[in-house]
Amino acid sequence: MPISYRMLNIGGIPAGLLGLEELFTQLYAEGITPNAPETPELILKGVREHNYIPKYALPIYQSTLCEEYQRYFRKRKSGKAIVARNYGTWRGYPREQIPWFPTISSEACTNCGACLDLCAREVFEQDEDGKIWVAEPFLCMVGCCFCKSVCEPKAILMPSQDILNGFREKK
Ligand code: SF4
Ligand code: SF4
């Protein structure tokens, strides 16, 4: 089976990573929880087996990857199957390769729910503790920034429109 490939938005820059799904599946099967002290190191070590990460970028990769694992873990815990879903394409590219989706700053977010109420695409969910999180990043409409404008504490980060210039229409 071919190794998985996913694009992530790492500090505003698109990064394609190999083997993320396999790593998360393995960590989950081993009972590694997102908040365990060893998790950030384990994730980084696993990702570096298939991907080069420059030394200066390790902290931002680590925090983004931990958020991704948190997302994966919540889904598994909630009983939702992690199935390969068809998110369609954008300009001829698989949607999962376009790193366009909101990221919530957990320090700034007040869990007011305004983004959840606004977005019709089921990108956001609320967990059992009332925390709003980005459950389905690839359902986000490429180029949209609507939820950012309703977030009073400015907790929603969206990528720069410039990143979309790299995805020219595929013939
Ligand atoms: S609108 Fe902003 S503050 Fe409110 S839940 Fe969404 S991200 Fe958090
Ligand atoms: S940017 Fe638009 S489509 Fe994407 S999550 Fe926000 S409101 Fe929904």
**Which tens digits make up the pLDDT trace of 12-42?**
677 888 999 999 999 999 999 999 999 999 9
Residue 22, burial from CB neighbour count under 10 angstroms (0-12, 13-18, 19+): middle
Q: What is the span of the domain harbouring residue 153?
A: 98-166
pLDDT at 14: 74
Distance of CA 83 to the CA centre of its chain: 16
Looking at residue 152, which CATH number applies to its domain? 3.30.70.20
Do 51 and 109 lie in a common domain?
Answer: no
pLDDT at 107: 87
- Indicate the DSSP class of residue 79: T
Do 61 and 102 lie in a common domain?
Answer: no
Domain count, the chain: 2
Tell me which residues have their CB closer than 6 angstroms to ligand 1: 104, 109-115, 132, 150-151, 153, 155-156
Q: Tell me: pLDDT of 83 over 80.
A: no
12 belongs to a structural domain: yes
pLDDT mean across residues, the chain = 88
More confident residue, 85 or 29: 29
Q: Ligand 2: which residue has its CA nearest to atom 6?
A: 147
Ligand 2 close to Cβ of residue 116 (< 6 A)? no
pTM: 0.68
Query: Which is the closest atom of ligand 1 to the Cα of 114?
Result: 1
